[in-house]
């Protein structure tokens, strides 16, 4: 009896011990007021004084990581969160956006995202990123999983549980204290900056346009301080604000509104601002930027036709001109002919005079910013190389108090004596734009740091009703094999009330469509040589983004027939399958030289031989449907594989159902 009792107790202890071992660990951040549960077998790393907690696991090293962090984020960040995440993902190499969704319940604002990217060309492993970013009471909470796609099977389910376990368990933390905003004298320091056009990698020069070089006006020929790859995009335009921070915008010819990015050289931190420049116009880029004596920032397009002013003190964005004033100058025919270089790169002095440089020979142009009147003279500078490649000008004040003009020329930076119209070489280097502002020293209300800066210490604004935000459906249309953009795709949008529009794509294949809450939308993408694709969106819970992949019609490619369903255990098509099959009919009708093989698959439940026969019959049923809708029978073959080729685990129903499918393989393209 005693032995039996001991055995029962021992077995009970083992059972309880096993239950305890399965319970997740608990992590609490008392200061930030949140809790996470992380799986047994995962490790926690948190360094003293660091607001980031790292959870990691793996048989060898850190195969998978989840990072949790909290940082100050003033109220305007709430409205910028989705834009910031979307733009950040697009800057990753070979990125594919699987899903980005937005949720706002008033007290908090959350963006969930899921994407993959590859830092090297195929067949390099792709990295999978799944995350949540939540704005709440002046703080941003960020949770993010990263691992190679090959590790997803082992670690992604547990990582998702960790991400979902976030719970706020304490009163909201106090918002950062308000910073005083007295009337001050804003003074630019003596540092000037340039965007490096090239960088050397393994002895080979390649495009850069993301790295910034920092110079001192007192000795610009000295070795610069390098801010390597600090811009999240390639850029031609850089301005320095009176806050000694740098402002830039992408050089991509998107012909769409773009956010200005702010980089603080002192802290080496950056983030998108809420300031959105208007569309550049077709075949144009933002090519240059400058600052005036009030601290306003200016951006200009490559054709000189659009100059835009951003006022940091009130966050307004204004179009200064939308037609190039230089067209009225008597010398315009000499520099404005077809094939001529640009003359848009510019700076502004303290008298509101715009200086521009003609890229072909370094000649200078002047425009009165107030009257938009160009000077009648084209100023020639001696001492410059004859070859073209002049990319910017910048006025600075030397230590002697004398005004000096710097000119970014072909493979070098030059200093120009304007009185004598003479240039001298300062240092070697190729720069797309220059930035500085020590010419200005004026009393002004302080420049308000854009609220998107995560480290900004600004108090939350008083609660005011927010204007309703439009829901946006965004994405890109990409080649499914190369992930290169397909901007020539015909993309048509149709909503649930029958309205239909043709959507124009950006140069990077992107689209952004304002949608009406409560309606559902279907987007159809068509391009010769590719399988047409449909995408669906219901505008209920906030903005949404997802890339649309077009599969090329190439021999050997196997594609799924999504939403093709049968009666259980039978080869009888359900009516819900007709939409997907009709789409395949359309593809084959539009491409009469294409022949295909239909492939049926089942899961592994039941008798393997019966599963094989069922898969053959289901593939044949799809062929019958296609033939009845006008596709020649000789263009279609069918085969069944039963459960021999699973694409997901058969261990549970949620993944087993993915194995019950019909696919088609392209056999020939004529």
Cis peptide leading into 123, omega within 30 of 0?
A: yes
Q: Is 610 left (phi over 0), alpha (psi -120 to 50) or beta?
A: alpha
Q: Alpha-carbon distance 133 to 114, whole Å?
A: 12
pLDDT at 441: 54
The band of 463, judged by pLDDT with boundaries at 50, 70 and 90, is very low
pLDDT per residue over 210-249, tens digit each?
999 998 877 888 889 999 989 988 999 999 998 889 999 9
The band of 61, judged by pLDDT with boundaries at 50, 70 and 90, is confident
CATH number of the domain located at residue range(s) 471-550 in this protein: 2.60.40.1120
Location of structure tokens 């397909």: 486
More confident residue, 6 or 527: 527
pLDDT at 367: 95
Reply yes or no on whether the pLDDT at 184 is more than 80. no
Query: In this structure, are residues 140 and 175 in contact, taking their beta carbons and an 8 Å threshold?
Result: no
pLDDT at 492: 93
| Per-range mean pLDDT, top range of 102-116, 296-310, 502-516 | 296-310
pLDDT per residue over 268-323, tens digit each?
888 888 889 999 988 889 999 999 988 899 999 999 999 999 998 888 899 999 99
The band of 188, judged by pLDDT with boundaries at 50, 70 and 90, is confident
Q: DSSP class of residue 625?
A: H
Query: In this structure, are residues 531 and 587 in contact, taking their beta carbons and an 8 Å threshold?
Result: yes
Mean of pLDDT over the chain:
84
Nearest to 509 by CA among 95, 16, 24: 95
Coil, strand, or helix at residue 406? strand
Q: Are strands 544-545 and 471-479 parallel, antiparallel or unpaired?
A: parallel
* Other Cβ atoms within 10 Å of 152 Cβ, number: 16
Nearest to 485 by CA among 458, 509, 514, 518: 509
Which strand (E) or helix (H) includes residue 226?
strand 225-227
The band of 176, judged by pLDDT with boundaries at 50, 70 and 90, is very low
Dump the DSSP string for 104-173: E-SSEEEEEEEEEE-SSSTTSPPEEEEEEEEEETTEEEEEEEEEEGGGHHHHHHHHHHHHHT-EE-SSPP
Q: Alpha-carbon distance 256 to 240, whole Å?
A: 24
Q: Alpha-carbon distance 85 to 78, whole Å?
A: 12
Q: What integer is the mean pLDDT of 569-582? A: 92
Under CATH, to which class is 558-669 assigned? Answer: alpha beta
Q: Alpha-carbon distance 203 to 88, whole Å?
A: 29
Q: Is 105 left (phi over 0), alpha (psi -120 to 50) or beta?
A: alpha
pLDDT at 385: 85
Q: DSSP class of residue 566?
A: B
Look at the alpha carbons of 605, 608, 613, 616 in this order and tell me if their dihedral is positive or negative.
positive
pLDDT at 312: 87
Dump the DSSP string for 355-400: EEE-TTT--EEEEETTTTEEPS--B--BT--SS----EEEEEE-TT
Dump the DSSP string for 467-516: PPPPEEEEEEEEETTT--B-TT-EEEEEETTS-EEEEPPPTTSEEEEEE-
Reply yes or no on whether the pLDDT at 452 is more than 50. no
Q: What integer is the mean pLDDT of 630-639? A: 96
Q: Alpha-carbon distance 623 to 30, whole Å?
A: 62
Reply yes or no on whether the pLDDT at 59 is more than 70. yes
pLDDT at 525: 93
- Give the Å distances, CA to CA, from 345 to 17, 290, 318, 355, 655: 71, 9, 19, 8, 57
pLDDT per residue over 38-52, tens digit each?
998 899 998 776 778
One fold for 20-168 and 558-669: no
pLDDT at 287: 94
pLDDT at 630: 95
Point out the least confidently predicted range of 99-103, 171-175, 414-418.
Answer: 171-175
Look at the alpha carbons of 300, 301, 307, 313 in this order and tell me if their dihedral is positive or negative.
negative
pLDDT at 36: 95
Dump the DSSP string for 424-472: EEEEE--EEEEE--TT-EEEEPPPPPPTT-TT---PPPPP-PPPPPPEE
Nearest to 137 by CA among 163, 161, 105, 166: 105
Residues of the chain above pLDDT 70, percent: 86
Point out the least confidently predicted range of 81-90, 458-467, 492-501, 558-567.
Answer: 458-467
pLDDT at 446: 43
pLDDT at 541: 63
Q: Alpha-carbon distance 77 to 341, whole Å?
A: 40
Residues of the chain above pLDDT 90, percent: 43
More confident residue, 91 or 288: 288
Q: What integer is the mean pLDDT of 124-148? A: 90
The band of 442, judged by pLDDT with boundaries at 50, 70 and 90, is very low
Location of structure tokens 């979902």: 164
Q: Alpha-carbon distance 357 to 365, whole Å?
A: 6
Reply yes or no on whether the pLDDT at 664 is more than 90. yes
Point out the least confidently predicted range of 157-161, 471-475, 614-618.
Answer: 471-475
Q: DSSP class of residue 8?
A: H
Which strand (E) or helix (H) includes residue 668?
strand 661-669
- The topology under which CATH files domain 184-444 is Hemopexin (2.110.10)
Reply yes or no on whether the pLDDT at 451 is more than 60. no
Nearest to 341 by CA among 389, 382, 377: 389
Point out the least confidently predicted range of 114-118, 389-393, 570-574.
Answer: 389-393
Domain boundaries, the chain: 20-168, 184-444, 471-550, 558-669
- Give the Å distances, CA to CA, from 190 to 355, 397, 438: 20, 8, 6
pLDDT at 161: 94
Q: Alpha-carbon distance 519 to 590, whole Å?
A: 31
Reply yes or no on whether the pLDDT at 448 is more than 50. no
pLDDT per residue over 376-430, tens digit each?
999 999 988 877 788 888 988 776 667 888 999 888 889 898 888 999 998 888 8
Which strand (E) or helix (H) includes residue 238?
strand 237-240
pLDDT at 33: 85
pLDDT at 670: 83
Max intra-chain CA distance, the chain: 113
Dump the DSSP string for 249-305: E------S-EEEEEEETTTTEEEEEEEEEPP--TT--EEEEEE-TT--EEEEETTS-
Query: In this structure, are residues 422 and 381 in contact, taking their beta carbons and an 8 Å threshold?
Result: yes
Q: Alpha-carbon distance 238 to 240, whole Å?
A: 7
pLDDT at 549: 94
Q: Alpha-carbon distance 643 to 31, whole Å?
A: 53
pLDDT at 487: 92
Under CATH, to which class is 20-168 assigned? Answer: alpha beta
Q: What integer is the mean pLDDT of 144-167? A: 93
- Give the Å distances, CA to CA, from 163 to 37, 131, 142, 260, 476: 9, 7, 10, 31, 27
Point out the least confidently predicted range of 312-316, 460-464, 476-480, 632-636.
Answer: 460-464
Q: Give the chain's count of helices (H) and strands (E).
A: 7, 46
- Give the Å distances, CA to CA, from 556 to 121, 550, 636, 666, 669: 21, 16, 14, 5, 10
Query: In this structure, are residues 458 and 312 in contact, taking their beta carbons and an 8 Å threshold?
Result: no
The band of 200, judged by pLDDT with boundaries at 50, 70 and 90, is low
Report phi then psi at 384, rounded to 5: -105, 150
* Other Cβ atoms within 10 Å of 635 Cβ, number: 17
Report phi then psi at 126, rounded to 5: -95, 150
Q: In what order do the strands lie in the sheet with 237-240?
A: 237-240, 246-249, 258-264, 269-277
The band of 464, judged by pLDDT with boundaries at 50, 70 and 90, is very low
More confident residue, 636 or 202: 636
Query: In this structure, are residues 511 and 505 in contact, taking their beta carbons and an 8 Å threshold?
Result: yes
pLDDT at 466: 40
């Amino acid at each position: 009896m005693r032995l039996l009792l001991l055995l029962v107790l021992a077995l009970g202890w083992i059972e309880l011990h096993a239950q305890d071992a399965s319970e997740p660990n608990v992590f609490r951040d008392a200061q930030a007021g949140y809790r996470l549960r992380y799986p047994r077998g995962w490790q926690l790393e948190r360094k003293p004084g660091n607001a980031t907690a790292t959870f990691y696991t793996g048989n060898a090293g850190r195969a998978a990581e989840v990072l949790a962090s909290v940082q100050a984020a003033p109220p305007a960040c709430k409205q910028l969160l989705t834009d910031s995440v979307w733009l950040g993902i697009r800057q990753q190499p070979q990125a594919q956006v699987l899903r980005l969704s937005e949720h706002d319940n008033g007290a908090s604002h959350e963006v969930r995202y899921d994407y993959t990217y590859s830092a090297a060309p195929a067949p390099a492993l792709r990295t999978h990123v799944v995350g949540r970013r939540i704005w709440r009471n002046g703080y941003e909470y960020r949770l993010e999983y990263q691992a190679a796609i090959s590790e997803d099977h082992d670690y992604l389910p547990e990582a998702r549980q960790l991400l979902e376990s976030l719970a706020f368990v304490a009163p909201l933390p106090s918002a950062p204290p308000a910073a005083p905003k007295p009337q001050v004298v804003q003074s630019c320091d003596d540092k000037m900056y340039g965007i490096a056009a090239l960088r050397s990698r393994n002895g080979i020069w390649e495009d850069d346009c993301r790295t910034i070089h920092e110079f001192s006006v007192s000795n610009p020929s000295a070795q610069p301080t390098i801010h390597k790859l600090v811009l999240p995009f390639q850029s031609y335009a850089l301005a320095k604000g009176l806050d000694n921070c740098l402002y830039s915008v992408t050089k991509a010819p998107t012909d769409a509104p773009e956010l200005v990015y702010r980089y603080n050289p002192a802290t080496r931190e950056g983030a998108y601002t809420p300031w959105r420049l208007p569309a550049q116009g077709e075949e144009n880029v933002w090519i240059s930027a400058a600052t005036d004596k009030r601290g306003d920032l200016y951006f200009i397009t490559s054709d000189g036709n659009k100059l835009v002013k951003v006022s940091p003190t009130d966050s307004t964005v204004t179009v200064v001109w939308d037609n190039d004033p230089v067209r009225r100058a008597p010398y315009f025919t000499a520099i404005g002919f077809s094939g001529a270089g640009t003359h848009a790169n510019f700076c502004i002095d303290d008298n509101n005079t715009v200086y521009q440089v003609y890229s072909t020979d370094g000649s200078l142009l002047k425009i009165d910013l107030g009257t938009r009147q160009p000077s009648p003279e084209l100023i020639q500078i001696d001492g410059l190389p004859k070859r073209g490649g002049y990319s910017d000008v910048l006025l600075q004040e030397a230590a002697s108090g004398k005004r000096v003009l710097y000119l970014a020329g072909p493979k070098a930076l030059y200093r120009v004596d304007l009185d004598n119209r003479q240039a001298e070489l300062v240092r070697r280097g190729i720069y797309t734009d220059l930035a500085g502002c020590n010419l200005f020293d004026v009393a002004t209300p302080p420049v308000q740091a854009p609220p998107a800066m995560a480290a900004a210490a600004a108090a939350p604004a008083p609660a005011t009703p927010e204007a309703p935000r439009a829901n946006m459906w965004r994405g890109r249309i990409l080649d499914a094999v190369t992930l290169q953009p397909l901007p020539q795709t015909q993309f048509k949008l149709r909503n649930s009330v029958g309205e239909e529009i043709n959507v124009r794509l950006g140069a990077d294949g992107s689209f952004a469509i304002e949608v009406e809450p409560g309606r559902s939308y279907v987007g159809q993408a068509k391009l010769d040589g590719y399988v047409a694709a449909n995408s669906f969106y219901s505008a209920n819970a906030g903005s949404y983004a997802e890339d649309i992949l077009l599969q090329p019609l190439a021999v050997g490619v196997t594609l799924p027939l999504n939403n093709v369903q049968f009666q259980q255990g039978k080869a009888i098509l359900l009516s819900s399958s007709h939409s997907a099959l009709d789409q395949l009919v359309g593809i084959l009708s539009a491409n009469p030289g294409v022949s295909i093989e239909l492939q049926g698959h089942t899961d592994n439940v039941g008798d393997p031989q019966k599963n094989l026969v069922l898969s053959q019959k289901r593939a044949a049923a799809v062929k019958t449907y296609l033939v009845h809708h006008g596709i020649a029978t000789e263009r279609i073959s069918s085969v069944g594989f039963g459960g021999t080729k699973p694409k997901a685990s058969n261990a549970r129903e949620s993944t087993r159902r993915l194995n019950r499918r019909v696919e088609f393989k392209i056999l020939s393209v004529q």
